[in-house]
Amino acid sequence: MAREAREGESRVAMVPELVGKLTALGYEVAVEPDAGRHALITDEDYADAGAVIDAAALDGADVVVSVQPLGTDRIRLLRSGAATVSFLPTGQEPEVVAALRDAGVTSFAMELVPRISRAQSMDALSSQALVSGYRCAIVAAGMLRRFFPLNMTAAGTVPPAEVVVLGAGVAGLQAIATAKRLGAVVKAYDVRAAAAEEIRSMGAHAIDLELDTLEGAGGYAREMTEERAALQMERLTPYVAAADALITTAAVPGRKAPVLVTRAMVEQMRPGSVVVDLAAESGGNVEGAEPGEVVRIGNAQVWGGRNVPSQMPGPASKLYAQNIVNIVTLMTASTDDGGAFAPDFDDEIVAGSCVTHAGEIRHEPTRQAMEGAH
Ligand code: NAD
């Protein structure tokens, strides 16, 4: 397992509790020194679990697991035929994909694992979105200088905070659940047809804007037309203006995050209001939000998310490591002397998540974007 080299990345791809699962499959597990430091895991914890602490862990490794993709300098040091399993945003990082291809490395991208039921236990987008959604609600509660719950006391009644959540996918639903548990009155909106029922099942109010729903492939949202986007903004404005806290989590796969809330809409919020934009890093749902910063717009403090799962590195790493163990298990064939990493490219999950193999880019959209049509 690699030590994460990117600034701000506190997670790790393997946790001591799960090292035994890999050794049981027949692997020797080598961990780079200090790899777990930011997730509060010591080298001794890994060693006690049966891993070897080795500064040269990547040299000659069959499989390298990490959260972020390895840097191009480290990829060039891998042996040809080695495999990497990590997040790998192919659209944003073509130079990493090219290095993997040219080094003859077989690479798998966790964000490309198909969202079919057999792959649920390997779905790192979902496991990390769960962490982000929770964290968003906690950040909003922490920034808001008032109670989330209703308080009825001898000294009088304090009304509950009103929280509006836009986007009710995995992260949004977790934000709703968390804000509800803290006692806020929660209203939420999502463009997908199934979302209203899911919002209600969390005990929140599903906002009905009387607009068409936008269902795309694989249960995802589709992009809005400009006209629909304008109408959605207009109809959302009174909900945003009335919110004490606004949490936005909307995304459309493979696209920039849709702008759902303009600066003018935020300016209508009351003094002391807070806005938490989980999508700030991918373009932002809220106009003016900055990833990793709190900016002031009108009366509101606007918090922009930046690598939000990394802000809770312990649980985020544990969930991610379980996803990694499950996908590595799928790609391990049992042999006479234990197990061997032998991905079966006829398997939908293996084929779907593979980016490079044997000197070629296997993920067709990435190949076309980088090499053009054949
Ligand atoms: P996501 O991160 O791509 O998007 C987050 C949410 O934003 C989605 O619910 C989307 O509908 C919403 N959104 C997009 N544009 C919007 C707009 N203009 N206004 C309001 N909301 C907007 O999505 P996700 O959380 O990864 O998952 C989306 C769906 O996929 C959910 O239904 C989820 O349950 C499903 N899912 C299925 C599996 C599986 O079957 N294995 C796994 C995970 C998620």
User: Reduced to 3 states, what is the DSSP secondary structure of residue 284?
Assistant: coil
The reported pLDDT for the residue numbered 374 is: 67
| Distances in whole angstroms, Cα of residue 70 to Cα of each of 1, 123, 147, 237 | 11, 20, 43, 43
Atom of ligand 1 nearest to the CA of 218: 30
Q: Which of 125, 88, 322, 340 is nearest to 220 (CA)?
A: 125
The reported pLDDT for the residue numbered 21 is: 97
Q: Which of 308, 313, 305 is nearest to 12 (CA)?
A: 313
In short, whether 190's Cβ falls inside 6 Å of ligand 1 is yes
Mutate which of 173, 189, 190 for ligand 1? The one with the most ligand atoms within 8 Å of its CB, which is 190
Residue 244 CA to ligand 1 centre (angstroms):
24
Residue 249 CA to ligand 1 centre (angstroms):
9
Q: What is the mean pLDDT, run by run of 10 residues, along the chain of 374 residues?
A: 94 98 96 96 98 95 98 96 97 96 98 96 98 98 97 96 98 98 98 95 96 81 88 97 98 88 98 98 96 97 98 98 98 82 96 98 96 80
The reported pLDDT for the residue numbered 344 is: 96
The reported pLDDT for the residue numbered 221 is: 82
The reported pLDDT for the residue numbered 107 is: 98
Q: What is the DSSP string of 239-271?
A: HHHH-SEEEE----TTSPPPP-B-HHHHHTSPT
As a whole number of Å, the end-to-end CA separation of the chain is 36
Is 115 marked active-site?
Answer: yes
Report the nearest-CA residue for atom 37 of ligand 1.
115
Indicate the Cα dihedral angle 323, 109, 76, 63, nearest 10°.
Answer: 30
- Indicate whether this model's pTM tops 0.85: yes
Q: How far apart are CA 266 and CA 244, in angstroms?
A: 11
The dihedral through the CA atoms of 259, 123, 58, 330 has a sign that is negative
Residue 2 CA to ligand 1 centre (angstroms):
30
Number of H helices, E strands in the chain: 12, 18
**Beta strand pairing call for 300-304 and 274-277:** parallel
Contact 141, 160 (CB under 8 A): no
